[in-house]
Amino acid sequence: MLRISNTVELAEHEIEITQIRAQGAGGQNVNKVASAVHLRFDIPASSLPPFYKERLMALSDQRISKEGVVIIKAQSHRTLELNKEDALARLRELIRRAIKQQKARKPTRPTKGSQRRRVDKKVKKGKTKALRGKVKP
């Protein structure tokens, strides 16, 4: 069971974990040990509440395909167990980040003083540039 929140859990059969060989350097051991993990999670076929599914599908993340399948590759640790835990933790964080409400941005206006200072700087800069013209003898 993967616990997302107090009320939402994912069953183990919804998450497909396969072992693969890790990429990169590692000596002779890397060629014979499959310690990396591919985690696949199908959003539309899952038991998540509809609100969670909508928010996940709307998320623009490269790990989510157009069909709604989350693919996470974990290979940062040397052991299979640690890579599984890492992949599951990353899936949990992805789902939590998707359901978190973003604060609405309140548009602000510049203060009168800042507008006045800006115009004064522009006037001063213009005067400086006007003095750079050719000098008449």
pLDDT of residue 121: 98
Q: Are 83 and 44 in contact (CB under 8 A)?
A: no
In whole angstroms, give the CA distance from residue 133 to residue 31: 72
Domains of the chain: 2-99 (3.30.160.20)
pLDDT of residue 22: 77
Mean pLDDT split into 10-residue runs, the chain, 137 residues: 80 86 69 81 87 85 86 87 91 88 90 97 95 83
Predicted TM-score (pTM) of this structure: 0.67
pLDDT of residue 27: 64
pLDDT of residue 107: 93
